[in-house]
Amino acid sequence: MGAVSAAVYNRMASDAELTGLLSVYKGAPAIFTAVPIPGDADLPLVTAFGNATAPSDVPEASKQSVAVRVQRDINCYAQATGSAARVEQIANRVFELFEREEDAINVSGWRVVRARADFPIVGETDETAYGLLVLVELRLEKQ
């Protein structure tokens, strides 16, 4: 797991409110940062995937500092029971964990300059699962 994936995972996995809303997979909260997601994982769960922007494309970078922007799509899923309350609780908590929480997110070797999260929007949904998506953007500066 890379430094950013580890930081995103640790931020979510260390929060008792969020983990109390998720199922457990092999003794850990059902938070996945790599694909494929195990087929035997139960809902509700969270996935976190994304990309990083090259330092040359980031306005914060300069000759004196290396900076990157990283985006993670955090997908929240819960059983389709006729009520979306559980998935809304999960997504709202994820939003709260990342929105303007620079000091609470630890990325090894980097300083989190800015953390932003978009309010949850509709994600993948079908007859068995409801989904909401929270887009998280981290601006990082090399220490």
Backbone angles phi, psi at 52, to 5 degrees: -120, 145
60 has a pLDDT exceeding 80 = no
Q: What is the pLDDT of residue 63?
A: 64
Neighbours of 69 (CB within 10 A): 20
Q: Which domains are seen in the chain, by residue range?
A: 3-142 (3.30.2000.30)
Give a three-class secondary structure readout of the chain: CCHHHHHHHHHHHCCHHHHCCCCEECCEECEECCCCCCCCCCCCEEEEEEEECCHHHCCCCCCCCCEEEEEEEEEEEEECCCCCHHHHHHHHHHHHHHCCCHHHCCCCCEEEEEEEECCCEECCCCCCEEEEEEEEEEEEEEC
Q: Give whichever of 1-10, 34-43, 64-73 has the largest mean pLDDT.
A: 34-43
pLDDT band for position 55 (50/70/90)? low
Query: Would you state the pLDDT for residue 68?
Result: 82
What pLDDT sits at residue 2?
87
Model confidence pLDDT, tens digit, residues 85-106: 999 999 999 999 999 999 999 9
